[in-house]
């Protein structure tokens, strides 16, 4: 069996377990989110949305850069992983101290005294988060995704039960804090049980410096991206109110579940796969093309289908009080449509060792994004988010531009690889939307629309003999044959 065949089979197997992990986890979290939405108010969601932004930013400083450097480094050993493990814990301690001291100021800034204790409580996730980043780097490098699947499923079940119990007992926003804290600690413990790597009693500042040479650019890029992505939430929480932030977060959550599930799975598998083939530009290009084709074929129908059923979905699952989130949901469905191109291009750039290009791209995109934010903020939340979606679309050209030179893979070729999925998904969404006008009752209408969407998409794929459809069908048949 050739080396490329072995790598390809590892990718398929890794992607299978990663998709299963993300799909199962997101499915359970989706059910938990629906229950919590019934038990909590939009304002309570907004409050947790505000504090989560500060934790996310702190997590970037603790986790990013080194974990990617561990995956990208061709000969990472035990000393590399252990050094990053201890360095991450130290960074987490520093960031927790910063947030602990800043918590009263955050509460005063948003005129909400409850934020102080909530920030201090949620910031505890920085410690298990730093450990998990090293554990998942090892998982990605060795493609031990089966262990990650088992640990993640246990964590989402435990954290879901904790949050529902806390919400039922009337603990309000603390229920969502409890969910995140219990999830991080359960996942960390589960990974120590199911993944073969354990930290050793060794540390090398020299190794940290070497990886920092690659990772600092990714850290800066991640910080820029995170600050900008969460700037909308910070502004909504301050200029508007917690309710507006709550419905925006809830509207974004539905499409984000899709791109987080499939996009993160593809990202986790692609980076180590690309890195192993970084000496062969042609091989990386071939894998990038297949990644864009497959991810577009799976992501786009779900996003455009969700766009078509948005009002029915919210009414059936969340209730009348959340109907204000429908416009945000539809806008974000469109904004995330080209996520497969974003993620594949950026992972290819990282795997080729061009973190300098990655950082330049982030700076360029954020300059454009800040201009869009300034332009939209004066017209209200919906217009502001709509401009954000437009900026996200323009950024696909920025992300794709370097790979014309690095991989000889132009944006025109990438768009052609996505075209079949775009066309079929658009037709399917139109049919689904049409059927929504004839079926009474939110739950019945949603069920009919989903079934019609699945049927139409599969039928069109078979009739037009879409390559990705045939590829996935053959992969399923092969797996059945082995079983």
Residue 326 within a domain? yes
Residue 175 within a domain? no
Residue 9 within a domain? no
DSSP state for residue 198 in the 8-state scheme: -
Please answer whether residues 97 and 61 qualify as being in contact, where contact means their C-beta atoms are separated by less than 8 angstroms. Answer: no
d(CA 471, CA 146): 23
CA 318 from chain centre, in angstroms, equals 22
Residue 391 within a domain? yes
Q: What is the pLDDT of residues 18-74, one digit of tens each?
A: 555 555 666 777 788 788 877 877 777 777 777 777 887 787 777 665 676 776 666
Residue 321 within a domain? yes
Please answer whether residues 270 and 15 qualify as being in contact, where contact means their C-beta atoms are separated by less than 8 angstroms. Answer: no
Q: How many CA atoms lie within 13 A of 357 on its CB side?
A: 19
Beta-carbon neighbour count of residue 216 at 10 Å?
16
Cβ burial, residue 136 (10 Å; 0-12/13-18/19+): buried
Q: What is the pLDDT of residues 439-448, one digit of tens each?
A: 888 899 999 9
CA nearest to 49, candidates 190, 260, 244, 335: 244
Q: Which domain holds residue 424?
A: 261-483
Rg value, the chain, Cα? 22
Residue 115 within a domain? no
Hey, what are 235's tokens? Answer: 């502004």
Q: Which residues of the chain have pLDDT under 70?
A: 1-26, 63-66, 68, 71-74, 143-145, 214-215, 217-218, 240-242, 260-281, 350-355, 475-483
d(CA 453, CA 436): 11
Residue 129 within a domain? no
Residue 402 within a domain? yes
- Domain count for the chain: 1
State the pLDDT at residue 96.
Answer: 92
d(CA 120, CA 385): 30
Exposure b/e, 147-160, CB count within 10 A at least 16 = b: bbbbbbbbbbbbbb
d(CA 111, CA 271): 43
Please answer whether residues 163 and 176 qualify as being in contact, where contact means their C-beta atoms are separated by less than 8 angstroms. Answer: yes
d(CA 446, CA 310): 9
Please answer whether residues 373 and 388 qualify as being in contact, where contact means their C-beta atoms are separated by less than 8 angstroms. Answer: yes
Q: What is the pLDDT of residues 159-175, one digit of tens each?
A: 999 999 999 888 888 99
Quick check: pTM over 0.85? no
State the pLDDT at residue 1.
Answer: 47
CA 338 from chain centre, in angstroms, equals 14
**Residue 100, SS3?**
helix
């Amino acid at each position: 069996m050739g080396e490329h065949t072995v790598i390809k089979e590892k990718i398929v197997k890794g992607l299978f377990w990663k998709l299963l992990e993300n799909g199962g986890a997101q499915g359970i979290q989706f059910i938990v989110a629906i229950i919590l939405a019934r038990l909590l108010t939009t304002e309570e969601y907004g409050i947790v949305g505000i504090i989560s932004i500060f934790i996310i930013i702190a997590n970037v400083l603790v986790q990013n850069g080194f974990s990617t450097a561990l995956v990208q480094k061709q000969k990472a050993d035990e000393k590399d992983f252990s050094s990053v493990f201890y360095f991450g814990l130290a960074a987490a301690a520093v960031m927790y101290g910063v947030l602990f001291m800043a918590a009263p100021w955050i509460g005063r800034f948003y005129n909400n005294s409850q934020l102080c204790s909530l920030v201090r409580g949620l910031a505890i996730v920085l410690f298990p988060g730093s450990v998990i980043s090293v554990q998942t780097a090892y998982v990605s490098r060795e493609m031990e995704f089966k262990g990650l699947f088992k640990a993640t499923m246990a964590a989402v079940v435990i954290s879901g039960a904790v949050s529902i119990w806390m919400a039922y007992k009337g603990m309000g926003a603390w229920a969502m804090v409890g969910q995140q804290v219990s999830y991080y600690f359960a996942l960390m413990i589960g990974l120590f049980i199911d993944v073969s790597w354990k930290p050793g009693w060794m540390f090398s500042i020299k190794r940290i410096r070497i990886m920092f040479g690659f990772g600092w650019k990714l850290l800066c890029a991640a910080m820029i991206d995170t600050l900008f992505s969460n700037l909308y939430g910070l502004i909504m929480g301050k200029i508007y109110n917690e309710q507006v932030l709550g419905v925006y977060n809830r509207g974004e959550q539905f499409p984000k579940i899709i791109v987080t599930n499939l996009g993160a799975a593809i990202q986790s598998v692609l980076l180590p796969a690309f890195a192993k083939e970084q000496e062969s530009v042609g091989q990386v290009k071939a894998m990038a093309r297949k990644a864009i084709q497959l991810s577009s074929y799976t992501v786009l129908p779900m996003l455009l289908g969700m766009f078509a059923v948005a009002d029915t979905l919210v009414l059936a699952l969340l209730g009348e009080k959340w109907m204000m989130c429908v416009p945000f949901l539809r806008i974000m469905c469109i904004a995330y449509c080209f996520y497969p191109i974003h993620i594949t291009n950026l992972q290819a750039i990282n795997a080729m060792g061009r973190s300098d290009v990655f950082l330049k791209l982030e700076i360029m995109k954020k300059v454009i994004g800040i201009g869009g934010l300034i332009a939209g903020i004066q017209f209200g939340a919906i217009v502001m988010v709509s401009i954000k979606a437009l900026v996200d679309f323009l950024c696909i050209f920025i992300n794709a531009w370097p790979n014309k030179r690095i991989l000889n893979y132009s944006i025109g070729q990438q768009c052609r690889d996505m075209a079949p999925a775009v066309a079929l998904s658009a037709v399917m969404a139109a049919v689904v939307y049409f059927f929504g006008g004839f079926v009474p009752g939110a739950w019945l209408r949603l069920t009919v629309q989903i079934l019609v969407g699945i049927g139409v998409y599969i039928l069109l794929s078979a009739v037009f003999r879409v390559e990705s459809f045939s590829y996935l069908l053959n992969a399923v048949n092969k797996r059945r044959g082995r079983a």
